[in-house]
């Protein structure tokens, strides 16, 4: 089964980067992940914006949808899949995408060891934040939608650290979340009713827009979600407006609100 998944991952990379000289991912590549840091710290434009507010963000980027041969975005829509943020910023480079595929396979092939690796990486973020006299925050789903509150004890293991994520899995809002975990529901072209239910139940939503952000959507206030990625600071019952980036700029599915 591992070989089959690995072959699919390499095939998908070849389709995504047809003009590149590719180095096939091997089981040895995956094994090395367990000894590495799997969280990026101030490596992307969005989370860097939290620095000025005293927050140091550790974020984990995996390979979205079924790029790795494993679907880690079960709530994705067609528009979300084609407009995924992994096409923006550093994610458009082959070496970065390959590394994210390898991490995703490491998660799937040996979850207990991968969880231990995450915990070690979180401790590193905490130390860095302490040394800089900043507050550590963690986002585990940079380009994935894994219900971490269920699949591991990572969030529960650090009750004094703030975790946050975006999700398209509305069912995650039906059960009590760890007190240190903030979720924002992500709007797609096919989940408006679920988004409205989240808002009506004192939750928050994120939506992607083309052009200037409106002041309201469905009578709910729209705030500029690109000023910072710190969604846990957003007022309740608001919509974080995000400007279309990467492939999303060409979306015609309705995922991007125009």
Which of 181, 177, 99, 178 shows the shortest CA–CA distance to 139?
181
DSSP letter for each residue of 40-67: EES-SHHHHTTGGGTEEEEE-----TTT
- What are the 10-residue block averages of pLDDT along the chain, 258 residues in total? 93 89 94 97 89 97 94 91 71 88 98 98 98 98 96 97 98 95 97 97 96 96 97 97 88 91
Burial of 8 (0-12, 13-18, 19+ CB in 10 A): middle
Determine phi and psi for 35, rounding to 5 degrees: -110, 10
* CA–CA gap between residue 202 and residue 45 (Å, rounded): 29
- Are the beta carbons of 70 and 109 closer than 8 angstroms? no
- Residue 218: count other Cβ atoms within 10 Å of its Cβ: 12
Long-range contacts of 220-228 (CB under 8 A, 24+ apart): 226/46, 227/49, 228/49, 228/50, 228/53
- The neighbouring-strand residues paired with 136 are 56
Q: How many CB atoms lie within 10 A of CB 116?
A: 14
Q: How far is 30 from 182, CA to CA, in rounded Å?
A: 30
Measured distance CA(63)–CA(250) in Å, rounded = 21
pLDDT given for residue 87 in this prediction = 61
pTM for this one? Answer: 0.94
């Amino acid at each position: 089964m591992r070989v089959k998944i690995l072959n699919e991952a390499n095939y998908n990379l070849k389709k995504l980067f047809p003009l590149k000289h590719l180095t096939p991912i091997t089981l040895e590549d995956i094994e090395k992940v367990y000894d590495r840091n799997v969280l990026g710290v101030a490596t992307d434009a969005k989370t860097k914006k939290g620095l000025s507010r005293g927050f140091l963000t550790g974020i984990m980027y995996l390979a979205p949808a079924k790029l790795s041969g494993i679907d880690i975005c079960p709530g994705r829509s067609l528009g979300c899949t084609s407009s995924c943020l992994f096409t923006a910023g550093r994610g458009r480079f082959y070496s970065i995408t390959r590394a994210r595929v390898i991490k995703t396979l490491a998660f799937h092939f040996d979850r207990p060891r991968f969880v231990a690796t995450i915990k070690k990486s979180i401790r590193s973020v905490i130390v860095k934040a302490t040394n800089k006299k900043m507050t550590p925050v963690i986002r585990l789903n940079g380009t994935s939608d894994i219900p971490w509150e269920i699949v591991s004890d990572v969030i529960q293991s650090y009750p004094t650290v703030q975790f946050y994520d975006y999700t398209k899995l509305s069912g995650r809002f039906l059960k009590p979340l760890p007190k240190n975990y903030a979720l924002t529901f992500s709007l797609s072209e096919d989940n408006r009713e679920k988004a409205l239910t989240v808002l009506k139940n004192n939750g928050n939503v994120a939506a992607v827009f083309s052009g200037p952000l409106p002041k309201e959507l469905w009578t709910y206030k729209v705030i500029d979600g690109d000023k910072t990625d710190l969604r846990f600071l957003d007022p309740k019952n608001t919509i974080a407006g995000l400007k279309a980036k990467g492939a999303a700029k060409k979306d015609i599915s309705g995922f991007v609100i125009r």
